[in-house]
């Protein structure tokens, strides 16, 4: 059995979060992960407050276990959804794509445990000062919006910099990855890509197929020119976008090219025009299964790996 301080902090069985994937992580997936003993997370993405409130109430009806909401800080509705999570008193709020400190006092007052995703030591320290319960150190292997550093490099630096539980994210897809994260000092992990192919995940079937088929060099990072680097699976859209970034088109035109592309991928399954955000670990994600089985399988494997971790020590 693997137990870490994160299990005790949140009242969860396994120290694993499901990443808050925009247009993908809804109440169905979050409840399935929480019922499986991890922490399921609903993505507030660019949605408004009413949609989020409905999803939170739906998840509450599907599980009596704790679950979280991920607030994407670049959302045009960020103030509204920040208020909704405080009113609904969700157990955990994770944040991404920005600095959450201006909202933290309100969330903490509502009894919410705030666990920001950080991609740098500076933000981790700021989050600790603002009252974070833990931080998620996310490396650039992740899908979606990413920072510069890899998980291998980022996690130990965050562990050294803060006096909080640290979760590792980015490039983790099986028990070996979990064991490696623990070796770096993490006491929990967050996985997105592996949960994207869970049976309970409502993303379009074409999206799942793309992740299941992807090989080692099948993701690409776009969006650097506009300051929002995003990792996604290579297809017509991402190749065109990448080329456009290094052409003479204006920033405004480039920005327009990306509008609606995530919806096209996740909801419509449009293989040519969609933006299929996924991590580099897609290459080892090869089967669809229930979320609960993903969790038990990963932790059985992690336990084996960790038990054998001393094998080279003489």
Name the token pair of 211.
């992740």
Q: Which stretch binds ligand TUI (CB under 6 A): 3-11, 31-39, 140-148, 298-306?
A: 140-148
Cβ neighbors of 35 (< 8 A, separation 6 or more) are 62, 63, 65, 291, 292
Q: Using the rule CB under 6 A, which residue among 3, 8, 61, 74 binds ligand TUI?
A: 74
Cα(197)–Cα(205) distance, integer angstroms: 9
Cα(181)–Cα(156) distance, integer angstroms: 9
Counting residues that bind ligand TUI (by CB under 6 A) gives 18
Per CB under 6 A, 230 contacts ligand TUI: yes
The answer to whether the CB of 177 falls within 8 A of the CB of 170 is no
Q: Using the rule CB under 6 A, which residue among 58, 60, 125, 228 binds ligand TUI?
A: 228
Contact string 142-161 vs ligand TUI (x = CB under 6 A): --xxxx--------------
The answer to whether the CB of 30 falls within 8 A of the CB of 212 is no
Measured from the CB atom, the residue of 47 and 97 that comes closer to ligand TUI is: 97
CA atoms lying within 13 Å on the CB side of residue 217? 0
Per CB under 6 A, 117 contacts ligand TUI: yes
Per the listing, tokens 């869970």 go with 198
Per CB under 6 A, 96 contacts ligand TUI: yes
Question: Least distance to ligand TUI from the beta carbon of 132, Å?
Answer: 13
Contact string 274-293 vs ligand TUI (x = CB under 6 A): ---x----------------
Per the listing, tokens 């992580």 go with 25
Contact string 16-35 vs ligand TUI (x = CB under 6 A): ------x-------------
Look at residues 115, 308, 286 and name the one whose alpha carbon lies nearest to residue 197.
286
**Entry field: residues in the chain:** 314
Q: Where does this chain bind ligand TUI (CB under 6 A)?
A: 22, 72, 74, 96-99, 117, 119, 123, 138, 144-147, 228, 230, 277
């Amino acid at each position: 059995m693997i137990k870490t301080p994160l299990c005790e902090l949140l009242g969860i069985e396994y120290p694993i979060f499901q990443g808050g994937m925009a247009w993908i992580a809804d109440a169905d997936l979050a409840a399935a992960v929480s019922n499986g003993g991890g922490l399921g997370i609903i993505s507030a993405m660019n949605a408004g407050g009413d949609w989020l409130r409905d999803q939170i109430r739906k998840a509450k009806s599907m599980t009596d276990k704790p679950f979280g909401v991920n607030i994407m800080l670049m959302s045009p509705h960020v103030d509204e959804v920040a208020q909704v999570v405080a009113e609904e008193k969700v157990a955990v709020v994770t944040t991404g794509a920005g600095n959450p400190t201006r909202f933290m006092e309100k969330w903490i007052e509502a009894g919410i445990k705030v666990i920001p995703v950080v991609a740098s030591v500076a933000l981790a320290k700021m989050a600790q000062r603002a009252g974070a319960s833990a931080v998620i150190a996310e490396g650039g292997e992740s899908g979606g919006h990413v920072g510069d550093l890899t998980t291998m490099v980022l996690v130990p630096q965050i562990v050294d910099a803060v006096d909080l539980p640290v979760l590792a994210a980015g490039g983790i897809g099986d028990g070996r990855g979990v064991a490696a994260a623990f070796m770096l000092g993490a006491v929990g992990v967050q996985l997105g890509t592996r949960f994207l192919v869970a049976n309970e995940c409502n993303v379009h079937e074409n999206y799942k197929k793309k992740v299941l088929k992807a090989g080692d060099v099948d993701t690409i990072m776009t969006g650097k020119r506009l300051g929002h680097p995003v990792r996604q699976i290579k297809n017509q859209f991402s190749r065109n976008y990448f080329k456009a970034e290094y052409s003479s088109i204006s920033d405004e035109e480039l920005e327009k090219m990306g509008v609606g592309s995530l919806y096209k991928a996740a909801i419509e399954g449009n293989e040519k025009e969609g933006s299929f955000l996924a991590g580099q670990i897609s290459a080892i994600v090869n089967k669809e299964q229930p979320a609960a089985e993903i969790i038990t399988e990963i932790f059985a494997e992690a336990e084996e790996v960790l038990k054998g971790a001393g094998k080279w020590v003489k």
